[in-house]
Amino acid sequence: MMPRRLNVQSTAWKENKLILLIEDEQNTELTDWKDSERMLVDSDGLAFIYVLEDEEGFNYISIGHNHWNEVKKALVEDAVFVVQNEKREELELTAFSREMYFLTDNIQGNANYGQQMEDEVIKVFGTEEKTQ
């Protein structure tokens, strides 16, 4: 089965927690999901993809470029990241910070991700070009 992609529609703060709000037409129970503790990059879509699993396969939580400033703020503040569905069920994304730090560091100076992705990551996350 193809992975199901769910886009983050908006973000919200609750104390030291950044909530990534998703719309899910299938009304999936987040309690059935498992954290895969890994993240992918969608260079063409300018998005980071957090991977979750359920009994049917993978669920990709797509964090588009328009939410990166909030993600950066949450990283700086060492906040907890959670995904929340329309039923207000939450699932903590335990490896989010670690994966974001790894990817944003890896993207800089790496042509494999494309120039636009690299430029946007540097702009938002404040990374600098690696010395050649």
Q: Rounded distance, CA 63 to CA 41, Å?
A: 10
Locate tokens 């944003």: which residue? Answer: 104
pLDDT of 65 > 90? The answer is: yes
Q: Rounded distance, CA 7 to CA 9, Å?
A: 6
Helix (H) or strand (E) holding 89: none
Model pLDDT, residue 23: 84
Q: What percent of the chain has pLDDT over 70?
A: 92
pLDDT of 130 > 50? The answer is: no
pLDDT one-digit tens code per residue, 16-31: 999 999 987 667 778 8
Name the more confident of 111 and 28: 111
Q: Rounded distance, CA 96 to CA 52, Å?
A: 11
pTM of the predicted model, to two decimals? Answer: 0.91
